[in-house]
């Protein structure tokens, strides 16, 4: 270390020699570039930019220079030290990025390993489908009502114009609560809520009624003794069958999609007059009543002695196709019953049939699920096998 | 109702070349739904053959086949193997040749069998679809009788026997009794084609001449117990035919039509009555005149009276049963009127003299008797639905004519005809009514024409006063028709019924489609604003929350066995044992309606486990039926008016309480074993947490408390759920926990099954209004932990509750974070560590404030539960 050049002797100080400074910078830059990690960089930074580094020492000599040379040397030294500092910063950024990247690599997880931390549940598709129907009607401004499953015979039959001995009463195979004389049944349809709603709220009235209903059918692929209906009832001034058709047409599109073909067919229900059945063209066979050829050949057994002896038969060669099982070969699927509310029903509920008219309809949700979602066997809907609900998740 | 197309075509114009499908399509248009198409599925060469020789050839299997030479009108006879025995050389038979296809899709080909090449098949009755009961070969001479004369080998047997005639089966709705006849279907078919019935429909009863003189057999209508004032028989005719030859067979064509209609040929007299019933819809009964004693008396059954019906069943009669009787003063019942005849006067193979009954019985009386004796018959089906009361004598004449023609009998000149057709009601149809109900502007002439097609007599019309209301009318669109429905349409009783006829005949496809505009809120009350009720919304949220919590929704049937209550371990007197019973259950062993969802949900669990599921988590939303201890019969007020408030209330009150429940069952892993670890089994705490979730979702918080006495739950692992606050505070809404081992064993569900069941009606009745969140505090939170030592028997919930109470309003949250039992806290004690969070809405809390609140909390816990700070 040189002594301070107090008397401003214009002697060229060696460490400030341009070449020496340049050399020190070159050494520093080389050391910085060679630093392989942040520790080495810190060491290089200390050695070439620290207080005891050649450049620092040289910098101190500036004070010994004659005033005329100070500015020049100062500028030169400043540039040199900045170059080194910049190089260190640049190198540090590189090394830090490398270090960070390396850490992330060591922290990597195989996120393709499947986990099962959240148990998966599901809704039952019948409930989901009911909600869809409800949403359709609430969208039209209708209300949604419910009623009891064990119901008074009066609501289930009498108030709906089922005479006590009319065959229509037998048409709906009814579960009776014991003793039958007590007049309680498992409701055979959601229609008793028509009478309840009219008595409760009067007209005008626009309501949809979902619910479980009961008939003494044996459970098989296309029948279940406990099933789900949605009922619609609109009573107002000036309502006609045209409005019935309009509501059903819109519902059909909402549930089954644009382009679904329907027809109204005369029918009979005690609580509507005129009455109709709404049929939907079978989506499986496109209304032809027949599915793909080749499926028609039946197993053939010898039915009679003559037949056995002379069983000169071959399997069905015609190959005309088998009757469609979804629609029973008719090309149409019965979707729901409907009609104009019978004046008797209005009267029994205290509504003036000369001022108000209305329409009602009911449709089966199980059947709808069958042909809307291609469910082949109704037993899947009632068994409660969790796999069935899971296939739907939370949407239907 | 089934009818062959060829028969239908006799009474109505069927389009040229119309197939059975076409006929069904025409009928469906007017409301007769197709039930099926049958028969007629014969194609290819099916010809008449004459058996030239039939050589018996015994086989090793013990059977004897015949090697036949059959002339089928070709140059050379064919060799055919046949196994039947009921024919021989010289017989005319039906032969299906290779290329023919018989009913059921049986295609015929030449094939080698029993050492011969069989070059066709000699057909049996069943194989040709002519009947199901015979496996004998069709021998044409026997089948056709004299009609077989002139038939030659090679003739087309399909045409000869009408094998290609197809049967249309339609579903007849209960209001259209007249369609249970070819006559009715023929009329409807004309409607369906839009043809004028006057020309397109040929009524089989038109022009039938009925004798007017008195008949031989006296008839007395002596109903002393009419139902609601309606006589049991409004009309009764009797006709005697003598000298019928019982050996004469029923003509083939008639038998064929019966078979096509699904009836079994029996004997000429019976077949003729059935045939006429199918043709015109009038049930008839044939008595053996020789076995009848004196006048026929129609009366109600007497106390203790018994009758053996045609089906051989001896029946104890009910005083409301209407019977036909004979003997002195009608002492002996000889038939259940309109339902089934008696065995004692049945027509037999020896019967020569026949008395034909054609009557009109009260639909209600017949319906009740048929139901009471579980005896639905072709006759009762028609009477229940209403039989045209104008046709009895003419229908009887049709049967008489057939008996005379085919049985060789002689009819009496007279006719006994007691009673008569009822007076027709006149229905007023306001001119604007069809348009008001249907939305189609029918021209008045069109309305009138259509009603006349149906058979109504129509008078009045636009401008005419409503004859019934007596109102004077003026201007277009006012006024009324006076409509007298035809005798075969007793179902047409009010204007709406006539409107349906107009709409139906005009065609439902003419009705336009107009989306109605509902006016939300018009009905007020819960309906204000329309949409879902709060209850429906809440149930939806709940179902979704449970699904999101990993449970799978299922629905079970509500039927349970009485033994299920035992399996659940319900003690005697438990109110869940008080169940409604179904009088006619689907399965005899499950006659009860569930009083809890778990009672039926366990079956679903078992089914899932049985199908191989290890981890099952199910829930069900459904109602249960909880009848009152003292149940009054449900009243049935009249329906010609609104019930009085009292009547209505009584009907509603008779319906048992049916709260909506939610239940869940979990077994196996809640989180499954996988590479992350061994998973976690569902346990009682899952059930409790899910139960609390229910309250949380509905906005009605619940609290859990230990419950040691609630079957089917484990006494040490069951919590009762109570409403935490609000008007229903403290109400127990259900239970959650593990099923008791005894119940697990009895129900045959996996060990450690956990469950919950809650009554949602209580919760849904306590739904809060819209949530009001208040302002959110933004001042700093201060966290404090406390560890408290308590007796092991003290429920953690009690400690937490006391802490919350003691800490006061500054406490934001309190959470149990550690539970420790062991040496450090001493035997029979445990340490519960809670993490407390304090915050004030309006300031930063000072240390002193927090310390004070914490001390107060600990003090409250100490006072309530004996808790002491751990380490103090
Ligand atoms: Zn189809």
The verdict on B517 touching A (C-beta cutoff 8 Å) is yes
- Pick among A268, A310, A329, A335 to test the B interface (most B CBs inside 10 A): A310
Phi, psi of B183 (to 5 degrees): -60, -50
List alpha helices for chain A, DSSP H.
18-34, 38-49, 54-60, 67-106, 125-139, 153-156, 167-171, 192-201, 241-256, 305-309, 343-348, 365-373, 379-383, 386-390
- Pick among B553, B607, B666, B754 to test the A interface (most A CBs inside 10 A): B553
Q: Say if residue A159 is in the same domain as residue A94.
A: no
- Among B147-151, B191-195, B627-631, B821-825, the least confident range: B147-151
User: Rounded mean pLDDT of B75-99?
Assistant: 90
Q: A201 and B524: CB-CB below 8 Å?
A: yes
Pick from B122, B512, B583: CB nearest A179:
B583
Q: Say if residue A102 is in the same domain as residue A129.
A: no
Give CA–CA dist B807/B852, Å, rounded: 9
Q: Which of B256, B208, B263 is nearest to B396 (CA)?
A: B208
pLDDT of amino acid A64: 79
B717, pLDDT greater than 90: yes
pLDDT of amino acid A287: 86
Q: Say if residue A28 is in the same domain as residue A156.
A: no
Q: Say if residue A29 is in the same domain as residue A133.
A: no
User: Could you report the per-residue pLDDT of A336-364, keeping only the tens digit for each?
Assistant: 999 999 999 999 999 999 999 999 999 99
Q: A384 and B556: CB-CB below 8 Å?
A: yes
Instruction: Name the residue in chain B with its Cα closest to that of A304.
Output: B135
Give CA–CA dist B606/B603, Å, rounded: 5
**CATH class entry, domain B219-419:** alpha beta
The answer to whether position A294 is within a domain reads: no
Give CA–CA dist B68/B85, Å, rounded: 12
Residue the block writes with tokens 């098949």: B121
A76, pLDDT greater than 90: no
Q: Please state, rounded to an integer, the average pLDDT across all residues of chain B.
A: 92
pLDDT of amino acid A168: 73
The verdict on B511 touching A (C-beta cutoff 8 Å) is yes
B82, pLDDT greater than 70: yes
Which of A78, A106, A134 represents a domain boundary (last residue)?
A106
Residue the block writes with tokens 């409503």: B466
DSSP summary character for residue B227: B
Of the candidate CATH numbers 3.10.20.30, 3.20.20.140, 3.30.930.10, 3.20.140.10, the domain formed by B534-632+653-765 belongs to 3.30.930.10
Asked whether B385 and B174 are in contact (CB, 8 A), the reply is yes
Q: Say if residue A251 is in the same domain as residue A165.
A: yes
Identify the three-state secondary structure at position B844. Answer: coil
> Where in the sequence is the domain holding A52, given as residue range(s)?
14-106
Q: CA separation (Å) from A152 to B537, B629, B634?
A: 27, 17, 6
Adjacent-strand bridge partners of B116: B113
Chain B nearest CA to A198, separation (Å): 10
Q: A119 and B511: CB-CB below 8 Å?
A: no
Give CA–CA dist A352/A282, Å, rounded: 39
Kind of pairing, strands A226-236 and B296-300? unpaired
Asked whether B432 and B441 are in contact (CB, 8 A), the reply is no
User: Could you report the per-residue pLDDT of B574-623, keeping only the tens digit for each?
Assistant: 999 999 999 999 999 999 999 999 999 999 999 999 999 999 999 999 99
A299, pLDDT greater than 50: no
Phi, psi of B837 (to 5 degrees): -125, 130
The answer to whether position A300 is within a domain reads: no
CB contacts < 8 A (A, B): 418
Q: Collect all residues with Cβ–Cβ distance below 8 Å to B670 and sequence separation of at least 6.
A: A119, B550, B615, B617, B679, B680, B681, B682, B683, B686
List alpha helices for A107-191, DSSP H.
125-139, 153-156, 167-171
Residue the block writes with tokens 């609900």: A389
pLDDT of amino acid B524: 41
User: Rounded mean pLDDT of A45-67?
Assistant: 83
Q: Is the peptide bond before A179 cis (omega within 30 degrees of 0)?
A: yes
User: Rounded mean pLDDT of A211-219?
Assistant: 94
List % helix, strand, coil for chain B (3-state, nearest 5).
30, 25, 45
Q: Say if residue A378 is in the same domain as residue A229.
A: yes
- Among B368-372, B463-467, B506-510, B760-764, the least confident range: B463-467
- Pick among A143, A247, A253 to test the B interface (most B CBs inside 10 A): A143
B465, pLDDT greater than 80: no
What's the pLDDT band for A296 if we cut at 50, 70, 90? very low
User: Rounded mean pLDDT of A10-37?
Assistant: 80
Structure tokens at B263: 């009836």
- Among B38-47, B314-323, B862-871, the least confident range: B38-47
pLDDT of amino acid B528: 57
B474, pLDDT greater than 60: no
Report the b/e string of B332-359 with b at 16+ CB within 10 A: bbbbbbbbbbbbbbbbeeebbbbbbbbb
Give CA–CA dist B660/B536, Å, rounded: 11
Identify the three-state secondary structure at position B387. Answer: coil
Asked whether B617 and B552 are in contact (CB, 8 A), the reply is yes
Q: B580 and A150: CB-CB below 8 Å?
A: yes
Residue the block writes with tokens 């070449």: A19
Pick from B611, B641, B679: CB nearest A385:
B611
Instruction: Name the residue in chain B with its Cα closest to that of A357.
Output: B437
Question: Which has more pLDDT, A316 or B714?
Answer: B714
Instruction: Tell me the chain B residues in contact with residue A121 when contact means C-beta distances shorter than 8 Å.
Output: 546-553, 617
pLDDT of amino acid B39: 85
Pick from B174, B558, B581: CB nearest A268:
B174
Adjacent-strand bridge partners of B335: B324, B341
User: Rounded mean pLDDT of B658-672?
Assistant: 96
Which of A106, A139, A154 represents a domain boundary (last residue)?
A106
Q: In terms of CATH, what superfamily is B46-161?
A: Nucleic acid-binding proteins (2.40.50.140)
User: Could you report the per-residue pLDDT of B376-430, keeping only the tens digit for each?
Assistant: 999 999 999 999 999 999 999 999 999 999 999 999 999 999 999 888 889 999 9
How large is the greatest C-alpha to C-alpha distance in chain B, in angstroms? 126
Structure tokens at B187: 């009329």
Q: Please state, rounded to an integer, the average pLDDT across all residues of chain A.
A: 86
Chain B nearest CA to A41, separation (Å): 42
B residues 134-163 closer than 8 Å to A (CB): 135, 137
Q: Say if residue A253 is in the same domain as residue A352.
A: yes
* H-run or E-run covering B182: helix B182-192
Q: A297 and B652: CB-CB below 8 Å?
A: no
Q: Is the peptide bond before B431 cis (omega within 30 degrees of 0)?
A: no
DSSP summary character for residue A122: B
Q: Secondary structure of B99-158 in the HEC alphabet?
A: CCEECCCEEECCEEECCEEECCEECECCCCCCCCCCCCECEHHHHHHHHHCCCCCCCEHH
The verdict on B65 touching A (C-beta cutoff 8 Å) is yes
Show me where the domains of chain B are located.
Answer: 2-37+170-193, 46-161, 219-419, 427-510, 534-632+653-765, 782-869
* H-run or E-run covering B383: helix B378-385
CATH code that applies to domain B782-869 = 3.30.70.380
Structure tokens at B596: 């809890």
Is the backbone of residue B828 left (phi > 0), alpha (psi -120 to 50) or beta? left
User: Could you report the per-residue pLDDT of B427-443, keeping only the tens digit for each?
Assistant: 999 999 999 999 999 99
Give CA–CA dist B298/B529, Å, rounded: 61
pLDDT of amino acid B818: 96
Identify the three-state secondary structure at position B424. Answer: coil
Structure tokens at B815: 């959470």
Instruction: Name the residue in chain B with its Cα closest to that of A241.
Output: B438
CATH of the domain at A256: 3.30.930.10
pLDDT of amino acid A163: 86
Percent of chain B surpassing pLDDT 70:
97
Instruction: Tell me the chain A residues in contact with residue B552 when contact means C-beta distances shorter than 8 Å.
Output: 121-122, 386, 389-390
Q: Say if residue A97 is in the same domain as residue A135.
A: no
Give CA–CA dist B528/B382, Å, rounded: 48
CATH number 3.40.50.300 given to B427-510: no
How large is the greatest C-alpha to C-alpha distance in chain A, in angstroms? 145
Q: A313 and B108: CB-CB below 8 Å?
A: yes
User: Rounded mean pLDDT of B843-850?
Assistant: 95
Fold matches, B46-161 and B219-419: no
pLDDT of amino acid A309: 37
The answer to whether position A30 is within a domain reads: yes
- Pick among B555, B611, B668 to test the A interface (most A CBs inside 10 A): B555
Structure tokens at B314: 């001896």
B820, pLDDT greater than 60: yes
A308, pLDDT greater than 50: no
Let me know how long chain A is.
396
Chain B nearest CA to A100, separation (Å): 28
ipTM: 0.89
Highest mean pLDDT among B88-102, B109-123, B678-692: B678-692
Exposed/middle/buried for residue A297 (C-beta within 10 Å: 0-12, 13-18, 19+):
middle
- Residue B247: CA atoms inside 13 Å, Cβ hemisphere, count? 0
Kind of pairing, strands B702-706 and B713-723? antiparallel
Q: CA separation (Å) from A23 to A15, B670, B832?
A: 11, 72, 72
pLDDT of amino acid A283: 82
The C-alpha angle B576, B578, B581, rounded to 5 degrees, equals 120
What does the CA dihedral A65, A71, A72, A78 come to, rounded to 10 degrees?
100
Which of A75, A106, A137 represents a domain boundary (last residue)?
A106
Structural domains counted in chain A: 2
Highest mean pLDDT among A274-278, A298-302, B723-727, B774-778: A274-278
Percent of chain A surpassing pLDDT 70:
88
B466, pLDDT greater than 90: no
Residue the block writes with tokens 């059954």: B301
Q: Say if residue A197 is in the same domain as residue A331.
A: yes
- Pick among A270, A274, A315, A322 to test the B interface (most B CBs inside 10 A): A274
What's the pLDDT band for A15 if we cut at 50, 70, 90? low
Instruction: Tell me the chain B residues in contact with residue A136 when contact means C-beta distances shorter than 8 Å.
Output: none
B residues 359-418 closer than 8 Å to A (CB): 363-364, 367-368, 371, 381, 384-385
How would you list the strands of the sheet with A313-314, edge to edge?
A: A313-314, B106-108, B101-102
Give CA–CA dist B570/B559, Å, rounded: 17
Q: Say if residue A234 is in the same domain as residue A271.
A: yes
The answer to whether position A228 is within a domain reads: yes
Q: CA separation (Å) from B157 to B38, B53, B667, B709?
A: 19, 20, 69, 81
- For A258-263, the CB contacts below 8 A with 24+ separation are A261/A287, A262/A335, A263/A332, A263/B508, A263/B509
Distance between the two ends of chain B, CA-based, in angstroms? 92
Structure tokens at B853: 């609140």
User: Rounded mean pLDDT of B629-634?
Assistant: 90
How many angstroms does the Cα of residue A223 sit away from the middle of ligand 1? Answer: 17
User: Could you report the per-residue pLDDT of B142-196, keeping only the tens digit for each?
Assistant: 888 877 888 899 999 998 898 889 999 999 998 899 999 999 999 999 999 999 9
Q: Which of B720, B745, B740, B717 is nearest to B730 (CA)?
A: B720
Q: A344 and B639: CB-CB below 8 Å?
A: yes
- Among A197-201, B159-163, B222-226, B748-752, the least confident range: B159-163
Q: Which of B531, B556, B675 is nearest to B618 (CA)?
A: B556
The verdict on B626 touching A (C-beta cutoff 8 Å) is no
Instruction: Name the residue in chain B with its Cα closest to that of A340.
Output: B437
Instruction: Tell me the chain B residues in contact with residue A303 when contact means C-beta distances shorter than 8 Å.
Output: 126-127, 135
Adjacent-strand bridge partners of A206: A234
User: Could you report the per-residue pLDDT of A245-266, keeping only the tens digit for each?
Assistant: 999 999 999 999 998 999 999 9
B residues 811-850 closer than 8 Å to A (CB): none
* H-run or E-run covering B541: helix B534-548
User: Rounded mean pLDDT of A52-57?
Assistant: 84
Percent of chain B surpassing pLDDT 90:
79
pLDDT of amino acid B208: 95
Q: A384 and B608: CB-CB below 8 Å?
A: yes
Instruction: Tell me the chain A residues in contact with residue B322 when contact means C-beta distances shorter than 8 Å.
Output: none
Residue the block writes with tokens 């450049």: A55
A151, pLDDT greater than 90: yes
What's the pLDDT band for A4 if we cut at 50, 70, 90? low
């Amino acid at each position: 270390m040189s002594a301070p050049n107090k008397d401003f002797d214009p002697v060229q100080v060696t460490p400030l020699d341009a070449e020496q400074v340049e050399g020190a910078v070159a050494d520093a830059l080389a050391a910085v570039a060679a630093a392989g990690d942040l520790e080495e960089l810190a060491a290089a930074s200390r050695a070439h930019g620290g207080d005891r580094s050649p450049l620092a020492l040289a910098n101190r000599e500036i004070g010994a220079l004659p005033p005329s040379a100070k500015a020049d040397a100062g500028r030169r030294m400043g540039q040199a030290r900045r170059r080194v500092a910049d190089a260190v910063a640049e190198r540090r950024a590189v090394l830090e990025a490398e270090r960070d990247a390396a850490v992330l690599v060591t922290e990597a997880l195989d996120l393709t390993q499947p986990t099962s931390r959240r148990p998966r549940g599901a809704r039952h598709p019948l409930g989901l489908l009911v909600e869809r129907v409800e949403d359709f009607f609430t969208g039209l401004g209708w209300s949604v009502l419910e009623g009891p499953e064990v119901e008074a015979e009066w609501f289930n039959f009498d108030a709906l114009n089922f005479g006590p001995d009319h065959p229509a009463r037998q048409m709906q195979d009814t579960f009776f609560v014991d003793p039958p004389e007590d007049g309680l049944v498992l409701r055979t349809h959601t229609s008793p809520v028509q009478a309840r709603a009219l008595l409760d709220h009067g007209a005008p009235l626009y309501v949809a009624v979902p619910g479980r209903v009961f008939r003494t059918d044996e459970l098989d692929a296309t029948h279940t003794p406990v099933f789900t209906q949605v009922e619609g009832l609109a009573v107002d001034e000036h309502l006609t069958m045209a409005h019935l058709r309009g509501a059903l047409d819109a519902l059909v599109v909402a549930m089954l999609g644009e382009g679904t073909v329907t027809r109204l067919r005369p029918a009979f229900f005690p609580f509507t007059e005129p009455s109709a059945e709404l049929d939907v063209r079978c989506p499986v066979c496109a209304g032809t009543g027949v599915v793909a050829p080749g499926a028609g050949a039946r197993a053939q057994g010898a039915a009679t002695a003559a037949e056995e002896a002379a069983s000169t038969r071959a399997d069905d060669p015609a190959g005309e196709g088998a009757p469609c099982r979804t629609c029973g070969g008719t090309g149409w699927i019965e979707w729901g019953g409907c009609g104009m509310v019978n004046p008797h029903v209005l009267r029994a509920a205290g509504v003036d049939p000369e001022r108000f008219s209305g329409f009602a309809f009911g449709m089966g949700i199980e059947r709808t699920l069958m042909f809307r979602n291609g469910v082949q066997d109704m037993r899947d809907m009632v068994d409660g096998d969790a796999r069935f609900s899971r296939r739907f998740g939370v949407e239907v | 109702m089934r009818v062959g197309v060829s028969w239908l075509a006799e009474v109505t114009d069927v389009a040229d070349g119309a197939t059975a499908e076409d006929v069904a399509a025409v009928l469906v248009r007017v409301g007769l739904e197709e039930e099926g198409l049958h028969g007629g599925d014969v194609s290819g060469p099916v010809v008449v053959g004459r058996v030239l020789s039939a050589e018996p050839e015994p086989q090793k299997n013990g059977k004897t086949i015949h090697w036949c030479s059959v002339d089928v009108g070709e140059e050379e006879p064919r060799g055919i193997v046949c196994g039947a025995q009921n024919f021989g050389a010289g017989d005319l038979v039906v032969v299906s040749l290779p290329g023919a296809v018989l009913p059921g899709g049986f295609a015929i080909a030449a094939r080698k069998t029993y050492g011969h090449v069989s070059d066709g098949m000699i057909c049996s009755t069943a194989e040709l679809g002519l009947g199901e009961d015979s496996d004998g070969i069709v021998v044409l001479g026997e089948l056709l009788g004299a009609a077989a004369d002139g038939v030659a080998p090679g003739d087309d047997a399909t045409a000869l026997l009408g094998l290609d005639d197809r049967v249309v089966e339609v579903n007849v709705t209960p209001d259209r009794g007249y369609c249970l006849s070819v006559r009715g279907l023929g009329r409807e078919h004309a409607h369906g084609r839009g043809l004028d019935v006057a020309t397109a429909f040929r009524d089989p009863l038109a022009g039938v001449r009925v004798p007017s003189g008195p008949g031989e057999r006296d008839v007395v209508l002596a109903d002393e117990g009419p139902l609601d004032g309606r006589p049991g028989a409004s009309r009764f005719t009797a006709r005697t035919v003598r000298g019928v030859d019982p050996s004469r067979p029923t003509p083939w064509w008639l038998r064929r039509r019966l078979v096509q209609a699904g009836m079994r040929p029996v004997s000429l007299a019976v077949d003729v009555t059935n045939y006429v019933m199918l043709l015109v819809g009038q049930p008839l009964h044939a008595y053996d005149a020789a076995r009848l004693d004196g006048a026929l008396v129609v009366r109600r059954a007497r106390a203790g009276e018994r009758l053996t019906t045609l089906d051989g069943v001896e029946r104890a009669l009910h005083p409301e049963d209407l019977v036909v009787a004979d003997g002195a003063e009608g002492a002996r019942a000889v038939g259940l009127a309109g339902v089934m005849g008696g065995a004692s006067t049945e027509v037999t193979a020896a019967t020569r003299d026949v008395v034909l009954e054609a009557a009109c019985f009260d639909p209600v009386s017949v319906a009740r008797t048929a139901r009471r004796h579980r005896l639905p018959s072709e006759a009762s089906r028609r009477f229940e639905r209403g039989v045209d009361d104008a046709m009895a004598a003419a229908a009887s004449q049709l049967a008489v004519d057939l008996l005379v023609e085919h049985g060789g009998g002689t009819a009496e000149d007279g006719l006994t005809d007691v009673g008569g057709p009822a007076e027709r009601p006149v229905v007023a149809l306001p001119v604007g009514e069809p348009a008001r109900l249907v939305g189609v502007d029918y021209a008045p002439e069109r309305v009138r024409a259509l009603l006349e097609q149906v058979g109504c007599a129509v008078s009045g019309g636009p401008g005419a006063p409503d004859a019934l209301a007596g109102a004077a009318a003026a201007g277009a669109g006012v006024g009324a028709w006076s409509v007298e429905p035809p005798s075969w349409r007793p179902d047409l009783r009010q204007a709406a019924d006539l409107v349906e006829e107009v709409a139906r005949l005009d065609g439902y496809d003419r009705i336009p489609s107009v989306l109605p505009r509902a006016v939300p809120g018009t009905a007020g009350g819960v309906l204000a604003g329309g949409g879902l009720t709060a209850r429906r919304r809440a149930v939806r949220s709940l179902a979704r929350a449970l699904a999101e919590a990993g449970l799978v929704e299922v629905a079970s049937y509500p039927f349970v066995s009485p033994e299920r209550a035992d399996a659940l371990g319900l003690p005697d007197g438990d109110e869940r044992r008080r169940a409604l019973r179904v009088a006619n259950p689907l399965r005899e062993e499950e006659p009860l309606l569930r009083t809890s969802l778990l009672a039926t949900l366990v079956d679903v669990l078992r089914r899932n486990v049985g199908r191989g599921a290890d981890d099952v988590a199910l829930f069900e939303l459904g109602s249960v039926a909880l009848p009152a201890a003292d149940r009054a019969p449900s009243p049935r007020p009249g329906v010609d008016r609104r019930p009085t408030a009292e009547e209505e209330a009584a009907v509603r009150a008779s319906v048992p309480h049916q709260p909506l429940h939610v239940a869940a069952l979990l077994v196996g892993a809640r989180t499954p074993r996988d590479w992350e670890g061994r998973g976690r089994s569902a346990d009682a705490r899952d059930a409790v947490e899910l139960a609390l979730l229910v309250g949380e979702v509905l906005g009605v918080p619940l609290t859990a408390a230990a419950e040691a006495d609630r079957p089917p739950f484990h006494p040490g692992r069951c919590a009762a759920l109570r409403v935490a606050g609000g008007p229903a505070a403290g109400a127990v809404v259900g239970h959650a926990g593990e099923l008791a081992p005894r119940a697990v064993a009895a129900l045959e569900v996996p060990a450690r099954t956990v469950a919950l069941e809650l009554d949602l009606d209580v919760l849904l009745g306590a739904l809060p209004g819209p949530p009001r969140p208040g302002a959110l505090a933004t001042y700093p939170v201060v966290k404090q932990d406390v560890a408290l030592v308590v007796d092991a028997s003290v429920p953690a919930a009690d400690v937490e509750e006391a802490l919350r109470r003691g800490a006061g309003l500054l406490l934001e949250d309190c959470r149990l974070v550690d539970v420790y039992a062991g040496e450090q806290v001493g035997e029979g004690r445990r340490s519960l560590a809670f993490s407390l969070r304090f915050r004030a809405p309006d300031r930063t809390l000072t240390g002193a404030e927090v310390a004070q609140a914490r001390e107060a909390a600990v003090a409250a816990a100490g006072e309530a539960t004996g808790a002491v700070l751990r380490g103090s």
